[in-house]
């Protein structure tokens, strides 16, 4: 039986250099991992909201009747990521987490409307949201559409909404206000 093989000898091998390489490589890897794992951003557990815009528009219902609509857009952020609710399991279960107060301009002053005012918004529920991963912060924008079925364009009402949200832990956000909104004009209203 014949065995054949080649043996190569590298005369450049230096045990001192290998020792430095064995120490330096893990140190570099640890340093790179430490740099790449930046500090996790933290926000308060209470939600924060910010009014972005309100757009008034004309629309038509399924019977062909013209009426006014409005779309509120606001920004939100929540440090513990518990915004939104699951649909209620029973009619008695409270599922409101977006709250509005409507004000109407009367003689130049904004006055809170009574609960039975036809423009007064009903209860709203922000759907369940969840952030995956280590950082639980939730951020985004929410659009809410209003329909003013009993409003005539000939009316010259000017309104304003104050609104806030509540997260699943019961933390209440700051209260934000829209700018003054003229329902007779199709327009987009931005923060003052």
The 3-class secondary structure across the chain, one letter per residue, is CCCCCCCCCCCCCCHHHHHHHHHHHHHHHHHHHHHHCCCCCCCCCCCEEEEEEEEEEEEECCCCCEEEEEEEEEEEEECCCCCCECCCCCCCCCCCCEEEEEEEEECCEEEECCCCCCCCCCCECCECCCCCCCCCCEEEEEEEEEEECCCCCCCCCEEEEEEEEECCCCCECCCEECCCEECCCCCEECCC
**Of 121-125, 165-169, 174-178, where does mean pLDDT reach its minimum?**
121-125
Q: How much is the pTM?
A: 0.75
Which CATH number applies to 48-189? 2.60.40
Q: Looking at per-residue confidence, does 63 or 37 come out higher?
A: 63
19 pLDDT exceeds 90?
Answer: no
Q: What pLDDT is recorded for position 160? A: 95
CA angle at residue 116 from 114 to 119, to 5 degrees?
85
């Amino acid at each position: 039986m014949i065995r054949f093989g080649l043996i190569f000898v590298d005369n450049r091998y230096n045990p001192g250099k290998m020792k430095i390489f064995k120490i330096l490589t893990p140190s570099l890897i640890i340093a790179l991992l430490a740099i790449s794992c930046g500090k996790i951003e933290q926000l308060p557990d209470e939600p924060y909201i910010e009014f972005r815009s309100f757009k008034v528009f004309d629309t038509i219902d399924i019977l062909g009747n013209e009426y006014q609509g409005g779309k509120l857009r606001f920004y939100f952020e929540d440090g513990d990521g518990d915004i939104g609710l699951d649909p209620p399991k029973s009619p008695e279960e409270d599922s409101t987490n977006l709250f509005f107060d409507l004000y109407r301009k009367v003689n130049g002053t904004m006055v809170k409307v009574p609960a039975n005012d036809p423009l007064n918004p009903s209860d709203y529920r922000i759907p369940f949201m969840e952030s995956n991963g280590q950082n639980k912060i939730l951020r985004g924008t929410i659009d809410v559409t209003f329909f003013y079925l009993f409003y005539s364009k000939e009316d010259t009402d000017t309104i304003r909404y104050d609104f806030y949200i509540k997260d699943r832990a019961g933390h209440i956000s700051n209260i934000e206000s829209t700018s003054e909104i003229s329902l007779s004009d199709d327009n987009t209203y931005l923060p003052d």
